[in-house]
């Protein structure tokens, strides 16, 4: 059974986690090793609970005392939130992502933090789409977007194809 814990992490711990993550099917990819300045800004946002002026929740995903991933929500003025989750590749496709999403959803539903959660998934990331569907997310629109991806020590632009998945909470469930 996994648990979500507040982020009390350092650059080194974040970098170590991202070394274990397969980002090949992530719409947003980070160069590893992580850039120090951006990672410190991220950790400050986690501590403050605000990222780019928006409410923000980030939790570490822990299994038996081992950090296996992170999960976060960024909330917009509309009270919709955007989900991001990464899990170390050796722990993927074992149900831990589904458990983490369920725990985070329970937390935000209990305090009315948001009214819906959206996730943007690369269409090539079949396991992520299946995991979100198992969590009750519905398929929304499909899209194409040019994104920057790490490439040979710099960045390149690639066209990513994705699917918006969403879960809207019932009003009377809050």
Maximum Cα–Cα distance across the chain: 51
Q: Tens of pLDDT along 111-128?
A: 999 999 999 999 999 999
Q: What is the DSSP letter of 25?
A: T
What b/e readout covers 112-124, taking b as 16+ CB neighbours within 10 angstroms? ebbbebbbbbbbe
pLDDT of residue 73: 97
Q: Tens of pLDDT along 65-96?
A: 999 999 999 999 999 999 999 999 999 999 99
pTM of the model: 0.91
Reference 60, options 112, 109, 3; nearest CA is 3
Q: Is it the case that residue 170 has pLDDT exceeding 80? A: no
């Amino acid at each position: 059974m996994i648990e979500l814990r507040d982020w009390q992490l350092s650059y080194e711990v974040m970098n170590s986690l991202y070394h274990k993550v397969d980002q090949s099917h992530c719409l947003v990819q980070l160069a590893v090793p992580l850039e120090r300045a951006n990672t410190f800004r991220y950790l400050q946002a986690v501590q403050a609970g605000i990222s780019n002026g928006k409410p923000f929740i980030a939790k570490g995903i822990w299994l038996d005392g081992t950090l296996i991933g992170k999960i976060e929500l960024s909330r917009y003025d509309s009270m919709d939130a955007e989900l991001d989750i990464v899990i170390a590749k050796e722990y993927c496709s074992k149900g831990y992502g589904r458990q983490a999403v369920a725990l985070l959803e329970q937390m935000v539903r209990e305090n009315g933090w948001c009214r819906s959660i959206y996730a943007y998934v690369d269409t090539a990331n079949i396991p992520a789409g299946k995991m979100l569907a198992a969590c009750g997310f519905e398929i929304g629109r499909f899209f194409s977007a040019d994104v920057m991806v790490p490439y040979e020590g710099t960045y390149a632009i690639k066209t990513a194809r994705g699917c918006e998945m969403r879960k809207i909470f019932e009003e009377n469930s809050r």
